[in-house]
Amino acid sequence: MSENMEIERRFLLRPMKGRKLIASCCPEAERYRLRQYYLYPSKEGELVRYRRIGTECYKTIKSGQGLVRREEETRVPCEEFKRFRPLHRGREIVKDRYRFSLEGQAYELDCFRGTLKGLGILETEFPTVEAARNFTLPELFRPWLVEEVTEDPRFNNASLCMAKQIPSLRGRCRPMELCPWMGTDELITVVLRRLVQRLGEAAERLGKGEDPEALHDFRVALRRLRVWLGEC
């Protein structure tokens, strides 16, 4: 049995095939399939997680949230994994994990399957809180990054097992791209923002009086925006 404090930062990435990112940074990464589930929390707020990796099974007791959490892990017979499986809360989580090192730092990339397909979370652990706070995500990951979710409890696995879909970033991150994790209202917001942006660009060109197509583009953008507003 091992007990330690887990000091970890987590980053939400854009939907992708994990092997595509791995091929660009560390083609020799280790890949394996994880199956895990959670039991209902105790009165003390501790969570019990059972995980299967190939032919090996583990029981982990977790407590705490955010950057620093307590974790106690024990390898158990897979019969125990099967025995408690019917008692799990929410759904079982299935994901492919890629483990690799870059510039001396170890990373784990989780690519979720099933209902959470499209969700990718990059994790990296640290020996101290100071090291975690001083860490800067390498530029290599920047094109894939949506935002850090270390302090967002909706993106921890215990919450994801209860989620019906990938959590929305509404009110905190409004990307201009249409992405699978968005809710319906957020998709509508992005489309409307695009239409308003095009209307503004056409109005600016029209004001300069240098583009003969500006008036046509302005009318088209305005008409499309009115149609959308009429439907909302």
CATH number at residue 154: 2.40.320.10
Question: How far is 218 from 204, CA to CA, in rounded Å?
Answer: 9
Q: Is 80 found in the same domain as 20?
A: yes
Query: Could you list the residue range(s) of the whole structural domain that residue 78 is in?
Result: 2-160
Closest-CA residue to 1 (of 66, 73, 51, 96): 73
Decide if 178 is inside a domain.
Answer: no
Q: What is the pLDDT of residues 26-52, one digit of tens each?
A: 888 999 999 999 998 876 778 999 999
In a domain, 174, yes or no: no
In this structure, are 75 and 189 located in the same domain?
Answer: no
Q: Is residue 28 part of a domain?
A: yes
What's the pLDDT band for 20 if we cut at 50, 70, 90? confident
Q: Is residue 207 part of a domain?
A: yes
Does the residue 135 lie in any domain?
Answer: yes
Specify if 127 maps to a domain: yes
Examine the domain organization and report whether 126 and 221 are in the same domain: no
Residue pLDDT, tens place only, 189-210: 677 777 887 888 888 888 877 6
Q: Looking at 24-28, 108-112, 128-132, 143-147, which range is the least confident one?
A: 24-28
CA distances from 219 to 29, 108, 200, 213 (A): 52, 50, 11, 10
